[in-house]
Amino acid sequence: MSSSSLLAGLRSPAPALLVAIRIAVFTACLAPALLLANEWFAMRLGANPIEAVTHATGDWALRMLLITLAVTPLRRFTGLHWLIRLRRMLGLFAFFYASLHFAAYVWLDLYFDWGAIALDILERPFITVGFAAFVLMIPLAITSTQGAMRRMGGQRWQALHRSVYGIAILAVVHYWWLVKADIREPLIYALILAALLGVRAWWREQERRRQLAAIPGSPSFKGKVIRIVPK
């Protein structure tokens, strides 16, 4: 098979191939949770297994969030428009791991001590921003279906789901404040997020300039103005 035909096949995959890709991506996204559960029941998570579970689920929540945000740039740069069909699944996996992260903290770490949990949220800034990020993810997960999009209307749905950018920022800040000293890993995530948000900001600026250039009378307008009423 030639490279051109392979590229054409990737840009317009057959339905069966697309199903196979979705299954493969689903399996890959679920694998970290299954491996972590296996390590937990085999008691191979070290001296502090609760901390290991909490950190691992938080790491994967942030990774899935960044992978979800990477779908649109990848689609635009590669021309693989079917990637957009994976975005909802990836976003839901981000919420899945965030839920596991929150459950590990509430259940395994603090044993549903709601007073201690409330005190943590109020007095420990990294938990405050992490909790805010998780709460903001809930309406996105609830409204991730096509039915919810139709009921809300496209503009309202898009406005709600743009909050994912703020959620990602809160998640990176949560991780940064958590580690305190060794910031190498959160710095990597912060740089990735900055690139993902930066390319979106650049696209928006380019679109704004194109729209201004199409408006007669605008300083950026380069077209010819045709007078309807002669002088």
Give the number of other CB atoms < 10 A from CB of residue 36: 19
CA nearest neighbour of 184 among 193, 194, 175: 175
In tens, the pLDDT along 36-48 reads 999 999 989 888 9
Residue reference for tokens 């696209």: 203
133-159: buried (b, 16+ CB within 10 Å) or exposed (e) per residue?
A: bbebbeebbebbeeeebeeeeeeebee
Rg (alpha carbons) of the chain, rounded to whole number: 22
Those residues of the chain that have pLDDT short of 70 are: 1-10, 214-231
Q: What is the pLDDT of residue 46?
A: 87
> 107-114 long-range CB contacts below 8 Å, 24 or more apart?
108/50, 108/53, 108/54, 109/50, 109/54
Query: pTM for the full model?
Result: 0.86
Q: How far apart are CA 158 and CA 207, in angstroms?
A: 17
Fill in the amino acid letter for 131: F
Q: How far apart are CA 25 and CA 31, in angstroms?
A: 10
Residue reference for tokens 């109020």: 122
